[in-house]
Amino acid sequence: MPFSRVKAMKILIIDDEKEMIESERALLERPEYELHAALGGIEALARLESEHFDLLLLDMKMPDLDGFQLLDILSDRWPDIQVIVVSGEDSFDAVSHALHRGANDFIKKPYAPKELITIVENAYQRWKLEGINARISQHIRESEKLHRFIVDHSPDFIYVLDHEGKFIYVNDRVKPMLGYEKEDLIGQHFSVLLSEEDLDKFSYFVAERRTGERMTRNVEIRLRRKPDEERRDDRYRDFENDMIPIELNAMGVYNEESDENVPGEKGFHGTYGVARDISERKSAEATIQYQAYHDLLTGLPNRALLEDRIRVAVMQSKRIKTMVAVLFLDLDAFKKINDSLGHSIGDSFLKAMANRLKACLREGDTLARFGGDEFVVVLPYARNEANVSLVAEKLLSQLRKPVEIDGQELFVTGSIGIALCPGDGQTMDDLIKHADIAMYAAKAAGKNCFHYCSEAMNAKHVNHLSMEQGLHRALKNNELLIEYQPQVDIESYQIVAMEALLRWEHPDYGRLSPSEFIPLAEESGLIIQIGEWVIIEACRQIREWRDMGRQDIRVSVNLSALQLHQENIVETVQQALQKAQLPGDALEIELTESVLMQDMDDAKRKLDRLNATGVKVAIDDFGTGYSSLAYIHELPVHTLKIDQGFVQRMNRNAADNSVIAAIIAMAEGLNLDLIAEGVETEEQLQQLKEMGCKNMQGFLYSRPLPKQAAAELLAANDEDARFRVIQSVAG
Ligand code: C2E
Ligand code: MG
Ligand code: MG
């Protein structure tokens, strides 16, 4: 203890008689006392002016400056000095007078030696205690100052909550970190710093009641900055929703003896907490995480993430019994670009290409950069090889298009190797290895093409280089055909029209549905020729059925955007009608909302001209696009086809019912025909009937049928529509 070693007490003996001084000095000679003397009041004053004394032994009667006068000066200038009055006077008045003026004790001359020794000894004890006290409080003051300094300069937010969870102390950090002035928070409940969703999760930690081992230690939570606070500290700018990630240590504060005056838990005073801002650490972690899994140049997943995606895809495919396709893509002449134009152009090229390739893929597919100019595509839900080939074809056609960098057009091609899981492997290594081998086979076969890993699959591909060439050939080889799906009157089950739906009987892949090849046909422009064929074939078919006796029958044909905006679409339709000797209203064309919206003015011009020849217009998949009354009003539209999505979700989702009701009301208001697509159940039919829908198309009545079967159905329908319905539902 620093307080135990006390220095000697400085005593000044003041008397006008030398003998008195000497006798007192002799009696008090001890190591604890440091004795000094002054002969008379004036000399005493001079000594007091120049040094400090702890105790004065003061004679009252002195000729120059007496004891009373000196007491007055002392109480004025040195009130802390203890004074023992040593005097010949012992009247009560004199004693009281002296004590009144600040003397601490009194001894009467002549005194017994013991008396003097004891009285000084008492003064010494008092002095020693006071000294200890003074030093302790000095020490406390200093250490408190130090702690406050440490706390206020701490990089952490430090707080104390009372037993109700209200702030009673916050340090200076609160302003830069959370945007609050100290005064804003004092008295507030801590929940102002938590978002509503975090309140349940984190309240417990912030207002921790436990101590010791069970206190809150290094728990990561989020605190909310003061809303709308103008940001002073840029470091906090980036955090979404003003939430700051912090690491919290907090514990309950208890009183040893419980305090009756403080309500709540026995002895519980509140919570002491230290919150460390870890936003920098968090963003660094996020960056590191991102960099660990992405290629820095293109931002695409890297090998590590690719491995993960393949693993997940393979696992899922086992469960839901689909294929996973891994496509290994290598640019054929990228090295030339790099060598001749430099790496920075090469980098820009790769970036542009990566973006373009990504745009070909669906959500859920992965495009990863595997190495320099190598990319890997993972298709986790590949339905069949035809689909995979389509994607490969699309990727190749994107690669072939020039990339413009710094004003110059750069061309490359690519080669793709394909491995399929489960057939070609079930791990990333196997699948990549096989896709890589297949990629080299594609290069060997002349580049700019794709190649499957398995021999059997390749055998199918040697005959034709691509789906695109396949489609060209499909037209020539009569591989395209049309199926017809009836549209019937809901009440009478009378067939009012047939929708022409295109199919491709592929020599290798079997029957392909339009969604599997129409996108490619559109991309390559082949849709124009194919569409023309559909129109001519449909008109030929109507003629046949009309000749058969169904004079009223109409056929509807789907047109894609490219077809509608093609220059001579009106002439194409007119010629087809003429050739089959049909009136315009024997044909209806179906367009989706998005097709119409692509170029409204052109659409309107074309449709007006078709309408003038009697051709009807239906809006297909109605309700899924931009259902704006304004444009329907301006266009010569006759029919709205309620999208099958709404019909199928009917009764499961109230919103879909109200969409249907709104479409029905709209059709009535605009005097348009209405047909519900995709009707599969009696229940849907009943409901549509009740809602006032007049026509329907769907599996409930009939699937799309080959032309022969459609003809038979038409004939039978003429005789007994109802009977057929009952049969088809039962079958
Ligand atoms: P869409 O015009 O909306 O045709 C209706 C689709 O729904 C057809 O699919 C049909 O088979 C199917 N469908 C009919 N009733 C039901 C049912 O009750 N339940 C279910 N789940 N489906 C039903 P498909 O034949 O695969 O045709 C798909 C799309 O391809 C068509 O949609 C159409 O937009 C387009 N398409 C078909 N033929 C041609 C064509 O010749 N040219 C163009 N450009 N597009 C065509
Ligand atoms: Mg249609
Ligand atoms: Mg439709």
Quote the pLDDT of residue 520: 74
267 domain residue, yes or no: yes
pLDDT at position 239: 46
Residues 170-190, mean pLDDT to the nearest whole number: 92
Question: Encoding tokens for residue 498?
Answer: 């047939």
Closest ligand to residue 501's CA: 1
Omega cis (within 30) before 110 = yes
Q: What pLDDT shows up at residue 630?
A: 66
- Which of 485, 501, 705 for a ligand 1 pocket mutation test, highest count of atoms within 8 Å of Cβ? 501
Q: What angle do CA 209, 214, 215 make, to 5 degrees?
A: 50
Q: Looking at residues 293-300, what average pLDDT do you find?
A: 90
Name, of 224-238, 318-332, 708-722, the range with top average pLDDT.
318-332
Distance, in Å, from the CA atom of 418 to the CA atom of 328, rounded to the nearest integer, reads 6
**Co-location of 219 and 306 in the same domain:** no
On whether both 68 and 17 belong to a single domain, the answer is: yes
For residues 145 and 720, the model is more confident at 145
Q: Are residues 428 and 517 in the same domain?
A: no
Spatial contact of 704 and 725, defined as CB atoms under 8 Å apart = no
Q: Which of 285, 317, 334 is the last residue of a domain?
A: 285
Say how many Å lie between the CA of residue 591 and the centre of ligand 2: 7
Per-residue model confidence (pLDDT) at position 464: 38
Does a structural domain hold residue 459?
A: no
Residue nearest to atom 11 of ligand 1 (CA): 704
Q: Is the pLDDT of residue 510 over 70?
A: yes
Instruction: Write down the pLDDT at residue 458.
Output: 56
The sign one gets for the Cα dihedral 233, 238, 243, 248 is: negative
Domain boundary among 410, 430, 453: 453
Domain for residue 651, yes or no? Answer: yes
- Rounded to the nearest angstrom, the distance between the alpha carbon of 557 and the centre of ligand 2 is 7
Question: In the chain, how many domains are there?
Answer: 4
What distance in angstroms lies between residue 642's CA and the mean position of ligand 3's atoms?
8
| 717: nearest Cα among 526, 550, 467 | 550
Nearest CA to ligand 1 atom 21: 678
Q: 21-30, 388-397, 460-469 — which is least confidently predicted?
A: 460-469
Residue 621 dihedral angles phi and psi, to the nearest 5°: 50, 40
Determine if residue 501 is left, alpha or beta; phi over 0 gives left, psi from -120 to 50 gives alpha, anything else beta.
Answer: beta
Indicate the length of the chain as a whole number: 731
Same domain? 448 vs 492: no
Q: Does residue 463 carry a pLDDT above 90?
A: no
Number of the ligand 1 atom closest to the C-alpha atom of 563: 44
- Which ligand 1 atom minimizes the distance to the CA of 483? 25
CATH number of the domain to which 127 belongs: 3.40.50.2300
Picking from 253-267, 587-601, 610-624, which range would have the lowest pLDDT averaged per residue? Answer: 253-267
Q: What CATH number should be reported for the domain holding residue 419?
A: 3.30.70.270
E-strand stretches of 466-561: 480-489, 495-506, 510-512, 554-558
Do 446 and 305 lie in one domain? The reply is yes
CA-to-CA separations, 42 to 25, 97, 104, 470, in angstroms, rounded: 20, 21, 21, 128
Strands 408-410 vs 673-676: parallel, antiparallel or unpaired: unpaired
Q: Which residues are placed with Cβ below 5 angstroms of ligand 3, an ion? A: 620-621, 677
Q: Which atom of ligand 1 is nearest to the CA of 502?
A: 38
Quick one: tokens of 218? 């290094």
In angstroms, what is the span from residue 384 Cα to ligand 2's centroid? Answer: 24
Instruction: Tell me: do 328 and 400 sit in the same domain.
Output: yes
pLDDT over threshold 90, residue 625: no
Q: Which residues line ligand 1 (CB under 6 A)?
A: 485, 501-502, 513-515, 518, 531, 534, 558-560, 590, 620-621, 644, 677-680, 697-699, 704
Work out the burial of residue 690: count CB atoms within 10 Å of its CB; fewer than 13 is exposed, 13-18 middle, 19 or more buried: exposed
120 and 164 housed in the same domain: no
* pLDDT value of residue 731: 43
Question: Which CATH number characterizes residue 222's domain?
Answer: 3.30.450.20
Compute, in angstroms, the gap from residue 695 CA to the centroid of ligand 2. Answer: 14
Residue 210 · residue 202 · CB < 8 Å: no
Range name among 144-158, 442-456, 634-648 with the lowest pLDDT average: 442-456
pLDDT digits (tens, 9 = 90+) for 341-357: 888 888 999 999 999 99
What is the residue whose two structure tokens read 């799309």?
A: 704
Residue 103 identity: A
192 and 84 part of one domain: no
* Same domain, residue pair 715 and 684: yes
Q: How far is the CA of 343 from the centre of ligand 1 (A)?
A: 48
Domain range spanning residue 446?
A: 294-453
Residue 46 in domain: yes
pTM: 0.47
Does position 460 have pLDDT exceeding 60, yes or no?
no
Cα Rg of the chain, angstroms? 50
Q: Is residue 463 part of a domain?
A: no
Q: How far is the CA of 507 from the centre of ligand 3 (A)?
A: 28
Residue 527 CA, closest ligand 1 atom number: 44
User: Residue 155 corresponds to which tokens in the numbers above?
Assistant: 């990089």
Q: What is the CB neighbour count within 10 angstroms for residue 201?
A: 12
The pLDDT value given to residue 724: 47
Same domain, 666 and 540: yes
Q: Are residues 501 and 592 in the same domain?
A: yes
The answer to whether residue 382 is domain-embedded is: yes
Domain membership flag for residue 61: yes
731: in domain: no
Domain match, 159 and 95 both: no
- Helix 343-359 and helix 385-400: axis angle, to 10°? 140
Which atom of ligand 1 sits closest to the CA of residue 621? 3
d(Cα 310, Cα 218) in Å, to the nearest integer?
36
* Domain final residue, candidates 140, 172, 206: 140
